[in-house]
A and B are shown apart, each in its own frame.
Chain A
Amino acid sequence: MKPGLPLLWRKTKERYNLVGTKCETCGTYYMPERKICAKCRRKGKIIPYAFSGRGKIFTYTVIRVAPEDYEFFVPYVLAIIELEEGVRITGQVVDVDPESVRVGQPVEMVFRKIHEDNPEGLITYGFKFRPVA
């Protein structure tokens, strides 16, 4: 269940700064990153790309029965966010009354704690989303 330290560490830039990739040949964005462009294949030129963090709620669900370590958060909103670059990613929506969330609502990236192993364990930080005030 618990990801290993090397995996968490390798994904730091992705979690902290929404860094994915972009194909310079066809302009397609990827999040999470891809090493090869799915459209251009060998002709593609993949470069790292930091997404703006602005987007809108494409769809969402309200979690009322949480997995282990997230019991304190219920009820909380888990959404698929469509970033302004067109890419869709999953993320928690915070600082919001779940009843007020709607599809199409504009959101922005915020930096939050994603997971705490236990009182003595590692704290994992990364992106979540919040409605634009």
Chain B
Amino acid sequence: MAESIGIVGYGVDVPRYRIKASEIARVWGEEENRIVNGLGLSEKSVPALDQDAATLAVEAARRAVRHSGINPQLINSIFVGSESHPYAVKPTATIVAEAINAAPVLFAADHEFACKGGTAGIINSYALLKSGEIEYGLGIGTDTSQGSPGDALEYSAGAGAGAFIVGKKDVIAEIKGIYAYTTDTPDFWRREHAIYPSHGGRFTGAPGYFKHVQSGAKGIMEKMGTRPSDYAYAVFHQPNGKFPRTVAKQLGFTPEQIAPGLITPLIGNTYSAASMIGLAATLDAAKPGDKILVTSFGSGAGSDAFHIEVTDKILDKRNPLPVLEVIKHKIYIDYGTYAKHRKKLIM
């Protein structure tokens, strides 16, 4: 019998602070309805002054370790994907490794691939598991990204982290297949030392998000010999509330299939964490035998796609801290406080 490799535990963290799209629209003289309807979201998460991509990654990883029930010393690889790593040089993965007591015998590295560095980390750990080099691996997507003031991205750029431990024992959701699609597409970027990203406006849509997510999803379905109707759920990268709904429809998935994993409308775009938090919320709702299709997207551009099948083990190992529980605690702030939190003020 082929070895089963898959998810043995997961955790997410999302800051409690929120700003409403209407508050941002008020400052920039925009019409609230145009923003809310255009982006499909009405508020976003904002990190506290003492939260960054590393602290969110640590909290998500600790929750994943707790959920998995494993000894963290058995985690032999940690890959942290982010486009907002706190240091340009000094890994976030070492901070996480020490904070979850997985150090020192492990492979550790940081990834950056816009919004898909986190799923790239799961694929790296999956490969190390398949080659027999590790017992457990950890892939994390975490971000506290920024949109420049007044830009469309400012309404959606949220903060959060998702962490997945993969292994071969007590697997709650088996990763049966992976597929990736990558091209050199200049849809969105941030240069060294630049605070805010630049993007191609409408160019981020068709040749960026839609081409890669569609190709990733179609590629994994062709590889696995499946159709959209074979899946109980699908999770797509969600830079806003609109794109994942549109791509799901284009691919032939129903609104019900993407509903549990559509979290961006509630907390904003968590970049590297977005598809991972979506997968976590989907697993919270899934039952044994369910097939889940996951397709991430990172600008620049590429998509990682996964075919996942939920096992009987999920019944004994429900996550004690579901995504909807994590995100229900909110503290609303105004634009001035938000500007302070995001260090938009020049002192």
Contact = CB atoms under 8 A, between A and B. Distances in A.
B51 A112 contact: yes
Q: Which of A72, A73, A111, A114 has the most CB of B within 10 A?
A: A111
Nearest to A127: B99
Interface in B323-347: 329, 331, 340
A94 B49 CA distance: 10
A98 to B, nearest CB: 13
B316 interface: no
A22 interface: no
Contacts of A114: 50
Given A16-B99, A72-B340, A95-B16, A113 B52 contact: yes
B333 to A, nearest CB: 12
A12 interface: yes
Interface string A1-41: 00000000000110011000000000000000000000000
Contacts of B48: 94-95, 112
A63 interface: no
B55 A95 contact: no
B171 interface: no
B322 interface: no
B331 A95 contact: yes
A128 interface: yes
A128 B99 contact: no
Contacts of A73: 49-50
Contacts of A113: 49-52, 55
A111 B62 contact: yes
Contacts of B52: 113, 123
B174 interface: no
B95 to A, nearest CB: 6
B54 A125 contact: yes
Nearest to B57: A111
A110 interface: yes
Contact of A112 (B16, B55, B101, B331): B55
Given A17-B99, A113-B55, A123 B87 contact: yes
Given A123-B87, A125-B95, A125-B99, A111 B58 contact: yes
Contact of B55 (A13, A72, A111): A111
Contact of A123 (B58, B86, B101, B331): B86
A94 B47 CA distance: 12
B59 interface: yes
10 contacts: A13-B98, A17-B99, A50-B101, A112-B50, A113-B49, A113-B51, A114-B50, A123-B86, A125-B54, A125-B95
Given A110-B59, A111-B99, A125-B55, 11 more contacts: A72-B49, A111-B55, A111-B58, A111-B59, A111-B62, A112-B55, A113-B55, A114-B50, A123-B87, A125-B54, A128-B50
Instruction: Name the 8 nearest CB pairs between A and B, nearest first.
Output: A112-B50, A113-B50, A111-B58, A16-B99, A95-B16, A111-B55, A133-B329, A112-B55
